[in-house]
Amino acid sequence: MTEERDVVIRLRGIHNQFGRQVVHHDLDLDVYRGEILGVVGGSGTGKSVLLKTIVGLQTPQAGEIEVLGYDLRRGGEEARDKVDDRWGVMFQDGALFSSLTVRENVEVPLKHVPDLDPGTRAALADLKISMVGLSWSAGDKYPSELSGGMRKRAGLARALALDPDIVFLDEPTAGLDPIGAAAFDQLIHGLSRSLGLTVFLVTHDLDTLYAVCDRVAVLAEQRVLVSGTIEEMGRVDHPWVHDYFHGPRARAALTAKGET
């Protein structure tokens, strides 16, 4: 891309600490409009904490968070209200409301739109359910009646209900079988391209990284160690990054990508 890239999430000097355990220190990160950013890191490097910090579920001890041009640390309620409708979050196991059907779950964010009549709301929910690849009959089911993969899809449908600018996905392919995981990767990629989504994706899955991510950010040593395309990651001279992108699994994922 030649033009100046539009930054939708800008983190500066984030400091997160639980008791004496410092999770993030002086962490900077930029996420550009329309890209799929994969966030990787070893267990306990605070990938999920970082996601929660951006969406406001975790207040950092220090630092600046700017999303879509709004300062979320200083802007208070007003800034949060502005961005709340413009992002969607898919939690690890979907985090669907268990007392509501899938359709009702997807309708929850749509209730924020004033004057939308119930018939249209249900039709839009059905459209979203269909777009994430669930069958019509899934809409009437309760989350407990769905498999893990279907719950994740339903969670994604809820996250996409308002056509947000940014979606946050926490381990979208964890616990899925390889075929289901590959289908989910394709789904994320296709949706992000046709809807112009910016995707912030926390993952452990190398296949997902190779298949869908435009850029990768590696969390290590309490900050974003490096960020760049996956090809650039291969050239980074850091033991953890090197092991991660040159291990047997990474090679397998790379070969798999070459074949498709």
Partner 1 sequence: MNDALSLTVETAADHHLVRLSGVFTVHDLPGAEPRLAAIAADRAVLLDLAALERLDTAGAWALDRLEARIAEAGFTLETQGAAPHLSALMRRVDAAIPTPDLPEDTGPKGLTGRLDAIGRRVVDMGKHGGVFLNAFGMFLYRLGQSLRHPSRFHLTALVAHCEDVGWRAVPIVSLLSFLIGVVLAFQGATQLRQFGAEVFVVDLIAISILRELGILLTSIIVAGRTASAFTAAIGSMKMREEIDAMQTLGIDPAHALFVPRILALILMLPILGLVANVMGLLGGGIMSYLVLDISPGIFLVRLIEGTDVSNVFVGLIKAPVFAVIIGVVGCNAGMQVGSNAESLGRQTSNAVVQAIFAVIVADAIFSVFFAEIGL
Interface positions with partner 1 (CB under 8 A):
98-99, 110, 113-117, 120, 123-124, 126-131, 135-137, 142-144, 160, 162-163, 190, 193-196
Q: How far apart are CA 195 and CA 110, in angstroms?
A: 17
Q: Work out how close the CB of 156 gets to partner 1 at its nearest, in angstroms, rounded to a whole number.
A: 13
Name the residue nearer to partner 1 (CB basis): 126 or 170.
126
Q: Work out how close the CB of 216 gets to partner 1 at its nearest, in angstroms, rounded to a whole number.
A: 25
Name the residue nearer to partner 1 (CB basis): 21 or 99.
99
Token match 């769905």: residue? 146
Name the residue nearer to partner 1 (CB basis): 121 or 215.
121
Name the residue nearer to partner 1 (CB basis): 165 or 171.
165
Q: Work out how close the CB of 86 gets to partner 1 at its nearest, in angstroms, rounded to a whole number.
A: 11
Name the residue nearer to partner 1 (CB basis): 29 or 124.
124
Give, in order, the Cα–Cα distances in Å from 214 to each of 119, 142, 165, 171. Answer: 38, 35, 17, 17
Q: Work out how close the CB of 131 gets to partner 1 at its nearest, in angstroms, rounded to a whole number.
A: 4
Helix (H, G, I), strand (E, B) or coil at 78: helix
- Which pairs from 104-109 meet CB under 8 Å and 24+ separation? 105/143, 105/154, 105/157, 105/158, 106/139, 106/154, 106/157, 106/158, 106/161, 107/161, 108/158, 108/161, 109/85, 109/158, 109/161, 109/162
Q: Work out how close the CB of 7 gets to partner 1 at its nearest, in angstroms, rounded to a whole number.
A: 19
